[in-house]
Amino acid sequence: MTYSLETFLDIATEAALAGGAIVQSYLGKLEEIQEKSRPGDLVTEADKASEAAILKVITRHFPSHGILAEESGKGGAIASEFLWAIDPLDGTTNYAHQYPFYAVSIGLLIDGIPQVGVIFDPAHQDLFRAAQGLGATRNRRPIRVSATTDLARSLLVTGFAYDRRETPDNNYAEFCRLTHLTQGVRRGGSAAIDLAYVACGRLDGFWERGLSPWDMAAGVAIVREAGGQVTAYDGSPFEMATGRILATNSLIHPELSQELQQIHPLEKF
Ligand code: IPD
Ligand code: CA
Ligand code: CA
């Protein structure tokens, strides 16, 4: 059976809303907060329950598709032309502290390209959606990236991966330098929302390293459909597997890319 991108978008929305409702239902009632790979890399029963609800919807509709989900890993036909990249709760640290900045992120890669994305922020009931060629929306209204042309007038966002204490490539130098050059750099704590905010013009640009496909897939589709640009730091084509992303309103892209390429790691802390 062949499906339209619109159908994929609708099913992804159904799944994201289901996950978001579960996430909200656990808020402030967590009994179990575990550390995963490293100190600070948390997982809660809300992450797991949200993922189960999302997978139920996706696999019911698309049993032959591949799945890349943060908590349960690979599933289904990974080599399939259709691969769902699912983060059932992006911003778990915020969530565990009841800091209301977290989201469900569901992206669909078709032949390796993010073509459908849904990001649902249940604390603010903000629903971001896009599919290639169909435009991007927030709560069903069209969105567009900002019109900021200068880096000096921009508001950016970034994040720091869980391996930040183990590598000099920890993004601290970039954060300092760009804080100096812009109106500010936010550290939201949810890469999915960071990308959604670039798409709707609340922020002008986002860069980060150490990310996983489920952090980025939906947001990449949404930023591009909203008129933004997504590449590697040096402006070359975006490669999901590198974990590195530069996403902007496109207007500040060359200037931000140039700065990122000139920054050297801070050696000592
Ligand atoms: C994290 C968030 C955060 C980013 C981390 C991610 P999680 O995802 O997106 O903003 O800086 O690198 O791992 O663990 O909350 O799903
Ligand atoms: Ca994540
Ligand atoms: Ca997560």
Q: Which residue has the higher pLDDT, 1 or 235?
A: 235
Three-class secondary structure of residue 77 per DSSP:
coil
Read off the pLDDT of residues 253-262 as tens digits, 9 standing for 90 and up: 999 999 999 9
Strands, E assignment, the chain: 33-35, 42-44, 66-69, 73-76, 82-90, 103-110, 113-121, 126-131, 135-138, 141-142, 155-157, 184-186, 205-208, 229-231, 245-248
Give the pLDDT score at 79: 76
Q: How many CB atoms lie within 10 A of CB 35?
A: 11
Q: What average pLDDT does the segment 181-205 reach?
A: 98
Q: How far apart are CA 163 and CA 172, in angstroms?
A: 12
| 108-160 tens-digit pLDDT | 999 999 999 999 999 999 999 999 999 999 999 999 999 999 999 999 999 99
Q: What's the confidence (pLDDT) of residue 197?
A: 99
Give me the residue label for tokens 């002008």.
204
Q: Which atom of ligand 1 is found nearest the CA of 212?
A: 13
pLDDT at 95 over 90: yes
Distance, in Å, from the CA atom of 128 to the CA atom of 130, rounded to the nearest integer, reads 7
250: alpha, beta or left, given left = phi > 0 and alpha = psi -120 to 50? left
Ligand 1: which atom is nearest the Cα of residue 214? 16
Are the C-beta atoms of residues 136 and 225 closer than 8 Å to each other?
yes
Q: Residue 264 — very low, low, confident or very high, per pLDDT cuts 50/70/90?
A: confident
What pLDDT shows up at residue 175?
A: 97
Domains assigned to the chain? 5-140 (3.30.540.10), 151-262 (3.40.190.80)
Query: Atom 2 (ligand 1): residue with closest C-alpha?
Result: 190
* C-alpha 129 to ligand 2 mean position (Å): 18
pLDDT at residue 218, as a whole number:
98
Residue 183, both tokens? 């109106």
pLDDT (tens digit, 9 = 90+) per residue, 4-56? 999 999 999 999 999 999 999 998 887 777 887 777 777 789 999 999 999 99
pLDDT at 36: 75
Of 132-136, 160-164, 242-246, the one with minimum mean pLDDT is: 160-164
pLDDT category of residue 59 using cuts at 50, 70 and 90: very high
pLDDT at residue 101 tops 90: yes
Judged against a pLDDT cut of 90, whether residue 243 lies above it is answered with yes
Cβ of 219 below 6 Å from ligand 1:
no
Tell me the best of 51, 211, 216 to mutate to test the pocket of ligand 1, counting ligand atoms within 8 Å of each CB and taking the most. Answer: 211
> Residue 77 above 80 pLDDT?
no
* pTM score of the predicted model: 0.96
The CB of 157 under 6 Å from ligand 1? The reply is: no
Q: Say if residue 173's pLDDT is above 80.
A: yes
d(CA 23, CA 225): 27
91 Cβ contact list (under 8 Å, min separation 6): 101, 102, 103, 188, 189, 190, 192, 193
Query: What are the b/e assignments for 18-32, b being 16+ CB within 10 Å?
Result: bbbebbeebeeeeee
